[in-house]
């Protein structure tokens, strides 16, 4: 499959990239790892007239501790995140993405800006209450994950804004687990569940649950969190809370799983993930 014709620029700074976006108009698109955008272009589901490649912009990759959490450059590849074990769940999740080629090209900024609910990192950012920092014509702003994902492949990042970095809270003191259900290890998740549990002396003092592919955006299983917070970290309490995992979700049916099967998966995977995280 061959994409429609397009122009290509490789700016050397964020300001140059913003200018190129402005000059390219509404059909200009940023290019990061290209592993979501290029397949869409090849299928002619996207036909940008200009690609603005962020690959030559210095300062957009890297992982560092900042303000008690982590600052991850937007152009940081999944593979680099997977190597930074201090990132905890986010590193573990990055390692489950597809295959080595995708992990070396795909970036966290691209994954979050693309806004695919089946992707692995959006649900993690949402449940951790992380944020993205964007730069646009009017300067910089920060978007909390709860305000980022609006609909299928739709985020609150404006067309003329660039994600420069991602802030991930450190989640110190939490045990974590990720349950991703797919047919082959490198496949997209049919359903994925990201969980943090703070088990203090046998009581769940805090808990976060993020769901992937259970709706048009990544979701937070707030009913599970509310049911388990303050309860004993027991098998019974976990099983009872996990039964609420599909509440309020509208998972899309697809070739691999019907909506009902996905709801069943969400409940089972949430119970497994909570059990592991509570024991970690």
278 vs 200: CA distance, rounded Å = 9
Quick one: 54 or 242, whose CB is closer to ligand FAD? Answer: 54
Site string for ligand FAD, 43-72 (x = CB under 6 A): -----------x------------------
- By the 10 Å C-beta count (0-12 exposed, 13-18 middle, 19+ buried), 160 is classed as middle
Quick one: 36 or 199, whose CB is closer to ligand FAD? Answer: 36
Site string for ligand FAD, 137-166 (x = CB under 6 A): --------------------x----xx---
Quick one: 72 or 113, whose CB is closer to ligand FAD? Answer: 113
Site string for ligand FAD, 210-239 (x = CB under 6 A): ------------------------------
Could you say whether residue 102 binds ligand FAD (CB under 6 A)?
yes
Could you say whether residue 130 binds ligand FAD (CB under 6 A)?
no
- Token pair of 54, please? 């962020």
Could you say whether residue 125 binds ligand FAD (CB under 6 A)?
no
Report the interface residues with ligand FAD, using CB under 6 A: 29-37, 39, 54, 74, 97-98, 102, 105-107, 109-111, 113-114, 119-121, 157, 162-163, 188
């Amino acid at each position: 499959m061959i994409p429609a014709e397009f122009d290509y620029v490789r700016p050397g700074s964020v300001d140059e990239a913003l200018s190129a976006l402005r000059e390219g108009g509404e059909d200009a698109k940023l290019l990061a790892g290209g592993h979501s955008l290029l397949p869409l272009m090849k299928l002619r589901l996207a036909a940008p007239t200009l690609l603005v490649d962020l690959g030559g912009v210095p300062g957009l990759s890297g992982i560092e501790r900042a303000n008690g959490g982590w600052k991850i450059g937007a152009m940081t590849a999944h593979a680099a995140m997977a190597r930074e074990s201090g990132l905890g769940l986010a590193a573990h999740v990055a390692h489950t993405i597809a295959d080595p080629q995708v992990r070396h090209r795909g970036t966290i900024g691209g994954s979050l800006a693309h806004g695919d609910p089946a992707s692995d990192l959006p649900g993690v950012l949402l449940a951790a209450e992380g944020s993205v920092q964007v730069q646009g014509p009017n300067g910089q702003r920060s978007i909390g994950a709860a305000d980022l994902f609006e609909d299928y492949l739709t985020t609150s990042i404006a067309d003329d804004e660039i994600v420069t970095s991602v802030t991930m809270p450190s989640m110190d003191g939490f045990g974590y687990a990720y349950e991703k259900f797919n047919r082959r290890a490198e496949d997209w998740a049919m359903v994925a569940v990201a969980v943090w549990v703070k088990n203090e002396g046998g009581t769940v003092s805090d808990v976060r649950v993020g769901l992937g592919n259970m709706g048009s955006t990544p979701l937070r299983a707030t009913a599970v969190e509310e049911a388990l917070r303050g309860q004993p970290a027991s098998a019974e309490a976990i099983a009872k809370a996990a039964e609420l995992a599909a509440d309020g979700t509208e998972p899309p049916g697809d070739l691999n799983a019907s909506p009902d099967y996905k709801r069943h998966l969400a409940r089972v995977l949430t119970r497994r993930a909570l059990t592991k995280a509570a024991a970690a």
